[in-house]
Amino acid sequence: MRVISGKVRGLKLNTPKNEDVRPTTDRVKESLFNMISPYIMDSNVLDLFAGTGSLGIECLSRGAQRCVFVDVSKESVSIINSNIKKARVENESMVLNLDFKDAISKLKVQQNKFDVIFMDPPYYKNMFIDALEKIDNADLLEEEGIIVIEHDSKENFPEKIERLEKHKVKKYGNTTLTFYKL
């Protein structure tokens, strides 16, 4: 797994030895960033269920101002921290070793707002809708921002969740990207 573009282009990122984390493939990542490139420059990014931190680091490499990485797994947080250090983006990064619900509550209290929110939770754990509702209720998404969910192609999502509306769906074999906006 590597950073595709930007100031640390080509940098190989550390990945876990177990199968619990599914890093986004280069093909899906490249396509994703082609679609969301207008949102990245000078943006605030939330990488929820961050895994390796690959998506947030890609944003920082491409000119995002700041990224908050969230993962409940201590192993993932260790990998995220090592990848942040490797990419030399410590000053633009904050890592939270919290459950997504606790992280969203903390970010709300701190009055954070994000231009781009990535969600790539464990498949088939039914966390998506709960997370989307909590993100909307916490008012974490900027007015013109976007939420990107990576999920198994067999999973479907409603057209509308709270104030969030499905904007686009792109399938790549077994992986699907679903986009929501306010």
DSSP symbol at 25: P
User: What is the per-residue pLDDT for 25?
Assistant: 74
Residue in 154, 147, 156 with CA at minimum distance from that of residue 35: 147
User: What is the per-residue pLDDT for 164?
Assistant: 97
User: What is the per-residue pLDDT for 125?
Assistant: 73
User: What is the per-residue pLDDT for 122?
Assistant: 77
CA pair distance 119, 70, nearest whole angstrom = 10
Residue in 14, 45, 150 with CA at minimum distance from that of residue 107: 45
User: What is the per-residue pLDDT for 20?
Assistant: 61
User: What is the per-residue pLDDT for 44?
Assistant: 98
Work out the burial of residue 135: count CB atoms within 10 Å of its CB; fewer than 13 is exposed, 13-18 middle, 19 or more buried: buried
* Residue 17, φ and ψ in degrees, nearest 5: -85, -20
pTM for the full predicted model: 0.94
User: What is the per-residue pLDDT for 22?
Assistant: 66
- Residues in the chain where the model's pLDDT stays below 70: 18-23, 124
Q: What are the angstrom distances between the C-alpha of 22 and each of 19, 44, 54, 76, 113?
A: 7, 24, 11, 11, 27
Q: Which domains does the chain have, with CATH numbers?
A: 26-181 (3.40.50.150)
User: What is the per-residue pLDDT for 126?
Assistant: 77
